[in-house]
Amino acid sequence: MRFLFRAKTIDSIVAEERRGGELKRTLGPVDLILLGVGAIVGAGIFALVGTAAAGDALRPGAGPALVVSFLLTGLACTLTALCYAELAALVPISGSAYTYAYATLGEVIAWIIGWDLILEYAVGNIAVAVSWSGYFCELLRGCGVEFPRWLASDLRTALHTPEILDQAPRMFGVPIVFNLPAVAIVTLLTGVLLVGIRESAWFNAVMVAIKLAVLGLFVVCGLFYVRPENWQPFAPNGWPGIQAGAAVVFFAFIGFDAVSTTAEECRRPSRDLPIGILGSLAVCTVIYVVVAAVLTGMVPWTQLNTAEPLSVAMRVAQLDWAAGIVAFGSVVAHTAVLLVFQLGQPRILMSMSRDGLLPPVFSRVHPRFRTPYFATLVTGVFVAGGAALASLEEMADLCNIGTLSAFLIVCLGILVLRRRDPHRERPFRTPWVPVIPLLGVVACLWLLAGLPYLAWARFAVWLAVGLACYAVYGQRRSRLADSKRGGDSSKA
């Protein structure tokens, strides 16, 4: 058990990073807040907000009380964000929750979390890329361009839609079906990320400005069409509806933790990382509440169960020109989420490689661009390949369960470090410990319990594969294990 749960000290982690120190430190607090907003504001507010308000066959809708759902979910995420902020300032390394787990709960837990973060970032980006493709095709359709369905469809949809198979060309009698727009956007963003973090941050800032302007346009135009009677009854399905809405919109908040993966590219990480994490979460919560209030005031909540609720609201108000702009904003929002998550995954792989748990090639840094180029390329190939054939539904639950597992470990990590190393100087301190971390643990467990059985079954398979990889490679090549074995032999 001591072998499996061996942990690194914070001093050794920071010392190793300083010896490596190969990434370019160019990001300030504004850059980090924009990266956080870029990762958070995406499909959640442009698509899931409709399902959360109206409900579906499996869950009741929150109705106009959707604003309460957003506030509750924002509060739950804030509990975890406060824990992330302390650990990010204390251990300013690119590995995010993986590195924090290594410093608190031990190597095997760190490996599991690093493996789970692949679900959040890479598998989650497959889902976002598939969703991006759908919105992009809708935007083209609005411009009078019809994209071939066999070139913008996942495999499962194609197999259940005979007309797609009939349209598709064949090679050796096998129909060719894949999602070209999803592959194309992932390839483009992978190229941007290879060039450098400064260029990536600039590109993200432009996209954040566009999507915030689009949401601002929606709010300003929509205010003139709000009908107060649409807010009555405020909570048509009571607390169960609010709770179900909170569970849905939780996924609109995923992404603030991606800020911590840029720790080695911050100019002053101990100060700037907490600002980026908490600042981006606060900005997005305010945006979500305002947009939800305007949306449910414009359209009766029962009419919002659609993939494009904001565009629908604009069309109801006979603002077709604004509906087109909102659709464009949705495409930009998805692109920003893809960029930030594609940025985060390679840096986690790089940290795992530095520790010997993955092959050394994953920690190679490009001599000119100062980016983890091999890990970035592998992530791009993995996400593009998955997005070519996978469906949105197959990927979403896996992303959620990986994210919540990481959140849970971060909250536990605060409790462990406060007990193990209480006198260490902390640039940022989570307030009201142990209350805040314990509430964060409870919130994560509550949301995990709400995930369907199939998600847990897939997660179990993923976890088994990950532990097998650790047993075959990681535990044998671990640098921490080598150092301990070296210490033991020298003592002997």
Closest CA to 444 of 411, 478, 416: 411
The gap between the terminal CA atoms of the chain, to the nearest Å, is 22
pLDDT at 20 over 80: no
- Measured N-to-C along each axis, helices 29-40 and 197-223 cross at an angle, to the nearest 10 degrees, of 60
Overall domain count for the chain: 1
Contact 14, 93 (CB under 8 A): yes
Which of 123-132, 293-302, 381-390 tops mean pLDDT?
A: 293-302
- Backbone φ and ψ for 188, nearest 5 degrees, come out as -60, -45
Closest CA to 384 of 155, 122, 140: 122
Q: CA quadruple 15, 20, 25, 30: dihedral positive or negative?
A: negative
pLDDT at 492 over 50: no
The pLDDT of residue 4: 62
* Residue 43: band (very low, low, confident or very high) from pLDDT cuts 50, 70, 90: low
Residue type, 292: A
Per-residue pLDDT tens for 137-181? 878 877 788 888 888 887 777 777 778 877 878 887 778 888 899
The pLDDT of residue 486: 55
pLDDT at 259 over 60: yes
* Residue 217: band (very low, low, confident or very high) from pLDDT cuts 50, 70, 90: very high
* Residue 488: band (very low, low, confident or very high) from pLDDT cuts 50, 70, 90: very low
pTM of the model: 0.83
pLDDT at 301 over 90: yes
CATH code at position 448 = 1.20.1740.10
Structural domain for 469, as ranges:
10-485
Contact 398, 453 (CB under 8 A): no
216 occurs within a structural domain: yes
Distance CA 126, CA 399 (A): 9
262 occurs within a structural domain: yes
pLDDT at 307 over 70: no
1 occurs within a structural domain: no
The pLDDT of residue 19: 59
* Residue 278: band (very low, low, confident or very high) from pLDDT cuts 50, 70, 90: very high
pLDDT at 491 over 50: no
The pLDDT of residue 336: 87
The pLDDT of residue 399: 78
481 occurs within a structural domain: yes
* Residue 287: band (very low, low, confident or very high) from pLDDT cuts 50, 70, 90: very high
What's the mean pLDDT in 42-66?
82
3 occurs within a structural domain: no
The pLDDT of residue 489: 36
199 occurs within a structural domain: yes
Distance CA 299, CA 309 (A): 9
pLDDT at 44 over 90: no
Contact 13, 417 (CB under 8 A): no
5 occurs within a structural domain: no
Per-residue pLDDT tens for 397-435? 677 788 888 889 899 999 999 998 888 889 999 999 999
Q: Which residues contact 348 (CB under 8 A, 6 or more apart)?
A: 94, 95, 96, 98, 114, 117, 118, 121, 261
Listed in sequence order, the DSSP H helices in 250-319 are 269-298, 309-316
- Rg of the chain's alpha carbons, rounded to an integer? 23
490 occurs within a structural domain: no
The pLDDT of residue 483: 67
